[in-house]
Structure 1
Amino acid sequence: MTIYYGMAQWQHPAWVNWLYAASLSAGDRIGRYSQVFSTVEVGSTFYTKVDDTQLLRWYNSVGEGFKFSFKAPQTVTHRLLERPWLDVQQDWVAFMLSLQPLQNKLGPTMLQFPAICDERALDAILALCDMWTLSTPLSVEVRNLAYFDKAHIEPRFLAGLSDRHVNRVVMDSRPVFSTEAYCESLVDAQKKKPRVPCHPVATASHPVVRFIGHPDLPRNELWLDQWAAKLSQWLSEGLTPSVFVHSSDNIAAPTLAAQLDKKVRLLTPNYQSALLLPQSQEQASFW
């Protein structure tokens, strides 16, 4: 029984003297991060082509059990409908080739499609899934509301993913939209995060959850309880979830992950977690 917990980044100014010592260089922080968390979202590959040397440097900085979840380039996903299909295919193949040397440490790679990709994009999305050649999991996140219509497009979408053993990314942004934006981080989160229904459906063996927590930590209890129950169920079914925990400013994301994992442990007697946050600056300094 394994849950891969991770953040949307492996370093944050607020995590200094907690997850890693202040004396640790920025380049070494991923190694310290990987001693606490077992996975990470890597968004840099969405924005630009990351040099192969850099990819291998990250690969060599973490242990064998760690998993990277790289995001596919925006030229493949966010420009899907505007670019020639051949160009999209070429970029997708090139990205897969860049990941081949990293397969031993790959979690679910993410195809993340924007709200502009409506039902017209479904065939192309599934065609990209058909092109996946790596032995590691693939996941798909959609943000157009057509894909959440249980009476129309969603059944076709889910069946298409299931037939291809591709995981749906379940976005849960309910916490950050549960109150008015009374602080800067909530204003920013409500502008940037998609407000889509949360449909916790597993279409393959490595379901992916992206949980966007509220900065007022007690407000997250209801949703954490729901996710603990769902994760416990998935574990009992033999699935291996990846859970990426965000918060509106990401400062409290590690704490939310630990709280969620504690709830899973209480519900799942045979589950043994490896997630243990350092409690203080003194503990961090021992690293």
Structure 2
Amino acid sequence: MTNDNPLAHPFPLTDARISAQLYLGLPMWFMSGWKGTLLNARCDAADALSEYSQVFSSVEGNTTFYGLPTVERARHWCHQVPEHFRFCFKVPKSISHAADIPRQLLHDGRQLCDFIAPLRERIGVLMLQLPASFAPERSAELFKTLDMLQSLVNLPLAVECRHPGFFLKDQHEVALLQELNRQNVNRVIFDSRGLFQDGSMDDAVIHARGKKPRLPVHPLATANHPVVRFIGHSDWLHNQRYLEQWRQKIRQWLSEGRSPYFFVHTAGNRNCPEFAREIVRFWQGSMADWPGGRLVKNPAAGMTADLFV
């Protein structure tokens, strides 16, 4: 998918046999700027998850990357969402960014399991986001970590590698893909092509370009729940060629019985809900009513495989 041709990965839209689920979501479930649009104007942070989960079927649980909430908070979140909803929490960076990840996992693993326990039935994928400094020379450490993590949490896993050495289509990437296949671990695909084609001088765009990874997009599924993190151009129209590629790829994954996750980011994330709505429309789907009232009479949930029938 490093090829920008809209049909770089063609798949016949009319022939797929959909038997799986697409989960659509945002990086978080609350921003104050979403009040009055996605969320009710009077919504506060405590109620936001309940309203968010009426529209989206998943969320990146970025909050856990910075530290694990209490078990009581986890239990509260579980009670706020419907049965179909899936959290995709990140392993805390105190583990994923440690100098010796397996050792740190042994130290912090019990706390991670305690947090997961009340939410187990609502967790779709647990994500391990590695720092950009984590090079292929540490692959053995990564593979050991994944094996330990599988045994510890017994949940679907996904790993996000950010070092350029994992994207060269050489022996290191081949070894990574083979091991992820063997362990049935998903690969997180971060698509920032639109962001880095964006010449806007907006502060949020400049900040995002300085912070987000710029890596090739290799849309290879190594397990049943490939994860796509998409951050696009601030001008919606400039994203359509990339989204057409993703429509084809997601349709392929669904036809193979996979249930992918697609998370929509924007620079600063203020416009995430609007961009997600445009993606659903571009993919000829429909989205549930927004509790904030800005989207009405759009009947079906926009996160289902119906988008691709």
Question: Under a length normalisation based on structure 1, what TM-score does the superposition of the two structures give?
Answer: 0.89
Distance 1:84 1:64, change over 3 A: closer
Using the TM superposition, give the Cα deviation of residue 263 of structure 1 relative to its aligned residue in structure 2, in angstroms: 4.1
String of CA shifts for 1:60-94, please: whole Å, max 9, x gaps: 11111111111101121112xx2474233322453
Tell me, what secondary structure is at the counterpart of 2:138?
helix
* 1:160-239 equivalent positions in 2, closer than 5 A: 160-239=179-258
**Distance change >3 Å, CA 277–CA 217, structure 1 → 2:** farther
Aligned pairs, how many? Answer: 275
- Would the aligned equivalents of 1:89 and 1:128 in 2 still touch at CA under 8 Å? no
The answer on 1:275 being equivalent to 2:280 is: no
Instruction: Give me the CA root mean square deviation.
Output: 2.0
Unaligned runs of 5+ in 2: 1-19, 297-309
**CA contact 2:41–2:292 (8 Å) conserved in 1:** no
Letter in 1 for 2:135: D
CA separation of 1:92 and 1:120: change in aligned 2, threshold 3 A: farther
Matched letter for residue 159 of structure 1:
Q
User: Which residue identity does 2:129 align to in structure 1?
Assistant: Q
Contact persistence 1:231–1:264 (CA under 8 A): no
Structure 1 residues not aligned, in runs of 5+: 266-272
Equivalent position SS for 2:24: strand
Judge conservation of contact 2:40–2:291 (CA < 8 Å) in 1: no
Q: Structure 1's 282 and 274: CA in aligned 2 closer, same or farther, altered over 3 A?
A: closer
Counterpart for residue 78 of structure 1: 97
Aligned to 1:130: 147
* Worse overlay, 46-55 or 159-168: 46-55
CA displacement 1:24-48 (0-9 Å, x = unmatched): 2220011000000011111121111
Task: Report what 1:87 is aligned to.
Answer: 104
- Equivalent of 2:129 in 101, 104, 112: 112
Cα offset, 1:11, TM superposition: 1.2
Residue identity (%): 35
For 2:240 and 2:230, how far apart are their aligned partners in 1?
12
Greater relative contact order structure (CA < 8 Å, 6+ sep): 2
Partner of 1:270: none
- Correspondence for 1:44 among 50, 63, 86: 63
Structure 1 moving runs of 4+ over 6 Å: none
Distance (whole Å) between structure 2 residues aligned to residue 101 and residue 281 of structure 1: 32
User: For 1:279 and 1:213, how far apart are their aligned partners in 2?
Assistant: 25
Pair 1:124–1:277, CA change in 2 (3 A): farther
Shift of 1:170: 0.5
Q: Which amino acid aligns with 1:190?
A: R
**1:170–1:278 Cα change, 3 Å:** same
- Aligned twin of 2:117: 100
